[in-house]
Amino acid sequence: MTRLSVNINKVALLRNSRGGNLPDVVVFAQTCERFGADGITVHPRPDERHIRKSDVYALRDAISVELNVEGFPSAEYLNLLRQVRPAQATLVPDPPHALTSDHGWQVKEQSAFLYPIVSQLKDWGIRVSIFIDPDPEHVEAAASIGADCVELYTGPYAHDFSQSPEKAIAPYIRAAQKAADLGIRLHAGHDLNLLNLRFLRVNLPHLAEVSIGHALIADALYNGIKETIRLYKQALS
């Protein structure tokens, strides 16, 4: 079964909009774990507009499932990972003030930058995932620099899904096959929801993990977090 990692950035954004600690992101993460989430994902940004560095430290000590910390590998991000030692780090190429991730690494061209970072994180005992566009060449390049996983950026898939699911999924199938051939772990994330998730899962049989935040948190407003996690895990089964 594909693992579900719940991205809780939007919960932190709601908290920060009023100050104080309501909703409590740690309690929410623990609640997700209790209702079946396989992991918790956070993406702290330099301006701390949602997840704060203090949240990352608190989550490390509060949950039993895997903590996945996404981010651009700046000195500040790497120092946070050195101290927290999460189960997984997902490296994304976002500039500091990007609204959200909207593309993957050009891994071959940026390998000289990424390789020592990947090596350092693995020395710290952290599993490393590289966020990429669905291209077999990027998968191969990520494997060549020692990454443990690739996370396929599924924004284009989600955008094109309603018009032609078969066309939307085609490049992801090719990238996924390359990952299977190389023995590198396959993840996916961005704009996945209950309408497009099942089709992705069926067509990517080696998919190990998805990270979902925005749509899942929105669905929880309607259905409650317990039922929402059940529905997402059902789509991944």
DSSP letter string over 173-209?
HHHHHHHHHHT-EEEEESS--TTTHHHHHHH-TTEEE
DSSP letter string over 140-162?
HHHHHTT-SEEEEE-HHHHHHTT
- 66 tagged catalytic: no
Radius of gyration of the chain (CA): 17
| Inter-residue contact 89 to 69 (CB < 8 Å) | yes
Q: Which of 50, 138, 187, 190 is catalytic?
A: 190
CA distances from 35 to 6, 9, 39, 227, 230 (A): 11, 18, 11, 9, 8
From the number of C-beta atoms within 10 Å of its C-beta (0-12, 13-18, 19+), residue 150 rates as buried
* Residue 143 identity: A
| Inter-residue contact 231 to 218 (CB < 8 Å) | no
Q: Which of 43, 50, 138, 187 is catalytic?
A: 43
- 43 tagged catalytic: yes
Q: Which of 70, 140, 151, 209 is catalytic?
A: 70
Q: Give the separation between CA 230 and CA 207, rounded to whole angstroms.
A: 18
Cα angle, residue 73 at apex, residues 42 and 109 outer, rounded to 5°: 125
C-alpha atoms less than 13 angstroms from C-alpha of 100 in its C-beta half-sphere = 13
- 190 tagged catalytic: yes
Active-site positions read 43, 70, 190
